[in-house]
Amino acid sequence: MATKEYIIDGAHIELLNEFVEYKRSLGYGYPYQTMEQIRRFSRFLANYPLEDTILTKNLIDEYCEPKMNEAVSTRNKRLSLSRQFSLFLRTKGIDCYVPPEQQEKKSTDFVPYIISKEQMKDIISCADRQPFFPHTRTTKAVYSMLLRLLWCCGLRLSEALNLQLDDVDINSGILTIRRAKYNQIRLIPISVTLHDYIRSYWDKMSFPHKDHDAFFFPTHRGECYNRSSVLRHIQMIMLEAGVTKDGIRPPRVHDIRHSYAVWALKKMVDENVDIYCVLPMLSIFMGHSDIISTEYYLRLTGYVYPDIAAQMEPVYAGVFPEVNDEAE
């Protein structure tokens, strides 16, 4: 069962659809959020008369102009999209303006919220206590399973939501992540307790035996969950569980992945795993393109557990930057 294709309905529809297919062929997922951005870009272009030069400097400057109270990351997404589309047009021999690669830098003092084991236990318990509604009979089971999977495997939310029945081997206890970042495929072995819970979830969901393309986390219509609605629902569960970042806001859902990495690093160090093997192992397990992407978690681990940072410092000297006590 495939996800619904997002419809681009502004200007240059054929070129933008061709652009999306080209980027996907290179391994970029282009999920719902990106496709929504492309549709907004298409609608923006439709407000201007079509010219021989599809993208001019003035047009892109207006599209990328900063908006009031806008996050730097939001504007950077527009800059990146306009640049990538311009470069694609150049490959087709279409004359256009290509914006520079340089983007605004975000503040680097942000520290993700590290969820404790006790807090995650409360979050999962709260999900298990969610009320049952006949018209959305699978919702309670889905979120109980999804939160356990994110916490125990450190998956990206999109990787979990895109899992299909063929990707979950309930006999061997192996997950196959096929729709990962950069089109990577990786295998995730799961613990005995999680394996048992997956078996129970499988029976509870009454999955069809022949439809291997069905989603492991299906909506009541059998479709893939919308990522934005899942983010909101999980944060609602966090609030009900009393887990907040500043006494008001819940942590980000992606903080579960950060927390998994920190606790996994701590567990391996506590079990005397060879320090030289710790980061490469975690890098492969989490689906990072290189070890540099994983080194970020050393900063988080060092911030929460300075003793672990001290043990790993001889091997990864210079990786831990100083952390400002006033950082968020």
Report how far residue 22's alpha carbon sits from residue 152's, in angstroms, rounded to the nearest whole number: 34
- Which ranges of the chain does DSSP label H, i.e. alpha helix? 13-25, 32-45, 57-63, 72-91, 117-128, 139-153, 157-161, 192-205, 227-240, 255-270, 275-286, 291-304, 306-312
Place of tokens 């986390």: 217
* Amino acid 148: pLDDT: 97
Look at residue 304 and tell me if it is in a domain: yes
Report how far residue 144's alpha carbon sits from residue 127's, in angstroms, rounded to the nearest whole number: 5
Q: Are 231 and 269 within one domain?
A: no
Report how far residue 281's alpha carbon sits from residue 229's, in angstroms, rounded to the nearest whole number: 32
Q: Which contiguous run of DSSP H or E holds residue 100? A: none
Q: Are 138 and 86 within one domain?
A: no
Q: Are 235 and 259 within one domain?
A: no
DSSP 267-321: HHHHTT--HHHHHHHHHHHHT-SSHHHHHHHHHHHHHH-HHHHHHHTTTSTT-S-
Look at residue 2 and tell me if it is in a domain: no
Q: Are 134 and 75 within one domain?
A: no
Domain boundary among 240, 265, 294: 240
Q: Per-residue pLDDT for the chain (328 aa), expressed as one digit of tens each? A: 344 456 888 888 999 999 999 988 887 777 767 888 898 999 999 888 776 678 889 999 999 888 876 778 788 889 999 999 999 999 999 989 998 886 665 555 567 889 999 999 999 999 999 887 766 778 999 999 999 999 999 999 999 999 999 999 999 999 999 866 666 789 999 999 999 999 999 999 988 776 778 999 999 888 899 888 999 999 999 999 999 988 889 999 999 998 998 898 888 888 888 877 888 888 888 888 667 667 777 666 666 666 666 666 665 555 544 444 433 3
Q: Which contiguous run of DSSP H or E holds residue 180? A: none
Q: Are 200 and 272 within one domain?
A: no
Q: Are 263 and 228 within one domain?
A: no
Look at residue 250 and tell me if it is in a domain: no
Q: Are 208 and 266 within one domain?
A: no
Domain boundary among 214, 240, 266: 240
- Positive or negative torsion for Cα 57, 62, 65, 70: negative
Q: Are 150 and 208 within one domain?
A: yes
- Count of the separate structural domains present in the chain: 3
Look at residue 323 and tell me if it is in a domain: no
Q: How many CA atoms lie within 13 A of 171 on its CB side?
A: 1
Look at residue 321 and tell me if it is in a domain: no
Domain encompassing residue 64: 13-91
Look at residue 99 and tell me if it is in a domain: no
26 contacts 60 by C-beta, under 8 angstroms: no
CATH number of the structural domain spanning residue 197: 1.10.443.10
Q: Are 234 and 288 within one domain?
A: no
Look at residue 204 and tell me if it is in a domain: yes
The letter for the amino acid at 148 is R
Domain boundary among 76, 91, 106: 91
